[in-house]
């Protein structure tokens, strides 16, 4: 049975999440300890700044598995069991799988649809694979999960647009210039937001960023911090027509760029359009500047409106993504259930074939003189009869996946045909079925502020 014990930004405060995190260098040891827990057949640990989640495939009662993992977390992080219980959520079966998929798709992230989490899930998967703590079930689950997350990113709009003011400025730049590579930017003022936008622009290929502040030392300070160059204030204002993007974030009480200034700057300009980002309050740039041909002015409200509409689009895309996740989790669940019936099918077929062979041997003396070819015919006949007899029961067993009564069905077959559970499990490639578990999806929520 699949279980997940985790703690995230909704269930635990940062102080607890800090204590519960697994530094990358301690992850191999933690994985080995996790796998060593009685009843844990496979395991993986996902540890990021916003969440710690332990995913395990257990061959014991889910509740016992959860207790064991909570004890493991308490021991590793030197926290008390009540603390662990209070700050973690526990999910079982389909709920655990669905949660994992939602996490990988960014649906459970603090910023809906943020892309880093997919890389972190991949990293956790690799770490577990290298440590040998993955088996067929978790391996299949994680591969399906990663594929689904990729589909969600490409097929829905969950990650299509920026949801921060700084990144929205970069997207605007892209909408105007196509590529930002080789472009030049100018930051007027010494605000933190200006630094952030400049950093984003530089990270997206802007060739040079110049900083101009009325206090030259401030410009130098910001230029050093971001990796640009400082210019005197007058030179900066005069440069407006010679750059592609201007970010203004001064604390001035009056406008620093009038419409006439920008008209002058655009005269004889050969660079193409000019993007002006005014993130100062009160505004640094005359709003009428937007009326000038090939000049695009966005103030803080304009940028925030873009972010708000993008968030709305992400929320709509999230609904689509959730539907995709549900479909993929159902497909995984069908595969997992089919793995549970495989040992029964193998045992049933092998048992009856062995029985047939035994009976052939028993009656062989009564056949009289028969040659090898005749014996082969008898064996083939026996096999054919067995296959015919098995046809309907096996079809019924396969149908259990769709009907949702795999546990009852496999138990019944074992009882009727007196099948050995261990023999079947040994032959099956998947994890052994948990006969004691109740059928269908199960969910255990104990503690945690929010287990969703």
Partner 1 sequence: MTANLFLPVSVIGYVVAIFTATLRTVYRAEGARRATSVLLIVTWLAHCGAVVQQGLRIGRVPLTTGAEYLLVLGWVVLSLHLFLWFRANVEVSGLVLPPLAGVLCFAAMQLLGVHPARPDAPADGWFLLHTTISTIGMATLCVAFAMSVLYLIQDRALKAKRTLALLGRLPSLGRADQLGHRALVVGFVLLTIGILAGVIVTAEDAERPIEVGAKQILPVLAWIVFAIVLGARALLGFRGRKSAYLTIAGFVLGLATVVGMTL
312 vs 157: CA distance, rounded Å: 10
For partner 1, the closer CB: 98 or 314: 314
Q: What angle do CA 121, 87, 14 make, to 5 degrees?
A: 70
Binding site for partner 1 (CB under 8 A): 155, 157, 160-162, 168, 171-172, 174-179, 268-273, 290, 293-294, 296, 298, 302, 305-306, 309-310, 313
214, 205, 280: which is closest to 248 by C-alpha?
280
- Distance in Å, CB of 212 to partner 1, minimum: 24
Distance separating alpha carbons of residues 290 and 298, to the nearest angstrom: 8
Question: Which residues, at least 6 apart from 98, have a Cβ–Cβ distance to it below 8 Å?
Answer: 325, 326, 329
49, 105, 145, 409: the active-site residue: 49
Closer CB to partner 1, 293 or 369, in the complex: 293
CB of 270 to partner 1, least distance (A): 3
Dihedral of CA 381/382/383/384: which sign? positive
Minimum distance between the CB of residue 421 and partner 1, rounded to whole angstroms? 46
Q: What is the C-alpha to C-alpha distance for residues 408 and 435, in angstroms, rounded to an integer?
A: 8
As a three-state string, the secondary structure of 76-129 is HHCCCHHHHHHHCEEEECHHHHHHHHHHHCCCCCCCCCCCHHHHHHHHHHHHHH
User: Please, which residue, 155 or 319, has the CB nearer to partner 1?
Assistant: 155
Contacts of 146 (CB under 8 A, 6+ apart): 104, 118, 121, 122, 125
Q: Name the region of 157 (left: φ>0; alpha: ψ -120 to 50; beta: rest).
A: alpha
Q: Specify whether 145 is catalytic.
A: no
Instruction: Select 264 or 403, whichever has its Cβ closest to partner 1.
Output: 264
Least spacing, CB of residue 322 vs partner 1, in Å: 18
Nearer to partner 1, 302 or 448 (CB): 302
Enzyme catalytic residues: 49
């Amino acid at each position: 049975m699949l279980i997940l014990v985790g703690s995230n930004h909704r269930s635990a405060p940062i102080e607890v999440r800090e204590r519960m995190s697994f530094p990358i260098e301690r992850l191999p040891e933690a994985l080995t300890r996790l796998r060593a827990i009685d009843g844990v057949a496979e395991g993986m640990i996902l540890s990021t700044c916003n969440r710690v989640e332990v995913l395990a495939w257990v061959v014991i009662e889910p509740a016992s598995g959860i207790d064991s993992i909570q004890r493991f977390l308490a021991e590793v992080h030197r926290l008390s069991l009540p603390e662990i219980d209070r700050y973690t959520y526990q999910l079982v079966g389909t709920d655990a799988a669905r949660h994992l998929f939602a996490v990988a798709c960014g649906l459970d992230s603090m910023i809906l649809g943020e892309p880093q989490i997919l890389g972190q899930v991949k990293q956790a998967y690799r770490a577990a694979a290298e440590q040998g703590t993955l088996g067929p079930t978790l391996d299949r689950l994680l591969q399906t999960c990663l594929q689904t997350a990729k589909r969600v990113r490409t097929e829905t709009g969950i990650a299509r647009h920026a949801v921060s003011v700084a990144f929205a400025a970069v997207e605007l730049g892209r909408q105007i210039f196509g590529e930002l590579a080789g472009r030049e930017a100018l930051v007027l003022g010494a605000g933190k937001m200006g630094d952030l936008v400049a950093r984003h622009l530089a990270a997206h290929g802007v060739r040079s960023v110049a900083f101009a502040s009325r206090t030259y030392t401030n410009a130098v300070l910001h230029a050093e911090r971001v990796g640009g160059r400082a210019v005197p204030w007058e030179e900066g204002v005069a440069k407006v027509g010679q750059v592609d993007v201007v970010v203004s974030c001064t604390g001035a009480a009056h406008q620093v760029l009038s419409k006439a200034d920008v008209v002058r700057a655009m005269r004889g300009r050969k660079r193409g359009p000019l993007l002006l980002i005014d993130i100062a309050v009160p505004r640094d740039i005359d709003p009428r500047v937007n009326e000038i041909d090939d000049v695009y002015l966005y103030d803080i409200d304009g940028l925030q409106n873009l972010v708000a509409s993008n968030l709305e689009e992400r929320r709509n895309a999230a609904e689509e993504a959730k539907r995709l996740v549900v479909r993929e989790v159902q497909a995984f669940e069908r595969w997992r259930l089919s793995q549970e019936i495989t040992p029964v099918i193998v045992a049933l077929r092998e048992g009856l074939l062995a029985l047939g062979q035994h009976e052939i041997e028993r009656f062989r003396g009564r056949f009289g003189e028969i040659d090898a070819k005749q014996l082969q015919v008898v064996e083939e006949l026996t096999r054919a009869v067995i296959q015919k007899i098995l046809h309907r029961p096996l079809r019924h067993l396969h149908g259990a996946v769709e009907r949702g009564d795999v546990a009852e069905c496999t138990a019944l077959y074992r009882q009727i045909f007196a099948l050995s559970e261990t023999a079947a499990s040994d032959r099956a490639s998947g994890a052994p079925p948990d006969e004691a578990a109740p059928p269908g999806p199960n969910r255990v929520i104990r503690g945690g502020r929010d287990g969703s």
